[in-house]
Amino acid sequence: MSVATQLAVTVEFGGGAELLFDKKKRYEVKLQGGEKWTLQKLLFWIRDNLLRERRELFLQNDTVRPGILVLINDADWELLKTV
C-alpha cells in the first residue's frame, strides 16, 4: 500500500475505554485509501484491529454501546447524522 492511498486517522479513547484497547489512549492509524469509509466500517476496523478484550463493552448491535460518547473533530457524532 503506497502512502498516497492511505487515509491517516487519529483514534483516541478516554473515560476508561482505553482499558479495552491495551491501556493506550491514542492510536495513529493508516486506513486503506481508495475505498469508501463509513463510521460503521471504521468501528468494525477498530474492533478487529485495536480492541484487545471484552468486545461486548465496546459494540452492541453493530454500533457503539449506549453511554459511549463518540466525537468526530470534537463534535458529537449524533449531531453529524444526516437524514
Cell output for 50: 485495536
Pick the CATH number of 3-80 from 3.30.390.30, 3.10.20.30, 1.10.645.10, 3.30.70.1070: 3.10.20.30
Would you state the pLDDT for residue 83?
A: 45
Domain ranges of the chain: 3-80
What is the average pLDDT score of the chain? 87
Q: How far apart are CA 36 and CA 15, in angstroms?
A: 30
Would you state the pLDDT for residue 82?
A: 59
pLDDT tens for each residue of 26-58: 999 999 888 888 888 999 999 999 999 898 899
Selected residue with higher pLDDT from 27 and 69: 27
Report, as an integer, the average pLDDT of 55-67: 89
> Quick check: 63 and 41 in contact, CB under 8 A?
no
Q: Considering the entire predicted model, what is its pTM?
A: 0.82
